[in-house]
Structure 1
């Protein structure tokens, strides 16, 4: 059980990292401070972005459930 949760935690961690990096940047950051953030985003959020948001949220929920599960197993069994 513990090994399974650890494997799922590792895979969800990798997936969440990948999905977060696939997101399009929304803020200007330091580039807007020096005039690099002059781009205008005329297109709204697309279906792909909405689906990417959903997958990222699902992956984050799986990650949190694995962490809580491992902590509960460690507290009550170990």
Structure 2
């Protein structure tokens, strides 16, 4: 059980990182340094951003649940 939670934790962490990096930059941050500010008006749609937000939130919930589950299993296992 602990191994399965650790595997899900690593996979959800990687997917969460990818989803956060896929978000469109807002403002003059690092994304505008590499030309992201110019393309921000031309690319992407609001439906895609909403779905990406939902997927990111689901990954955060799975990640947090794995951390809490691993902590409870290791605390009460012996």
- 2:28 maps to 28
Cα separation, partners in 2 of 1:54 and 1:28, compared to 1, 3 Å:
same
Which one has a bigger Cα radius of gyration?
A: 1
- 1:54 maps to 54
Cα separation, partners in 2 of 1:41 and 1:16, compared to 1, 3 Å:
same
> Which consecutive residues of structure 1, in runs of 5 or more, have no partner in the other structure?
none
> Which consecutive residues of structure 2, in runs of 5 or more, have no partner in the other structure?
none
**Number of residue pairs matched by the alignment:** 75
Q: Provide TM-score, normalisation by structure 1.
A: 0.79
Over the residues paired in the alignment, what is the CA RMSD in angstroms? Answer: 2.7
Q: Tell me: higher relative CO, structure 1 or 2? Use CA pairs within 8 A at least 6 residues apart.
A: 1
State the 4+ residue runs in structure 1 displaced beyond 6 angstroms: none
Q: When you count helix as a share of all residues, which structure comes out higher?
A: 2
* 1:29 shift after superposition: 2.9
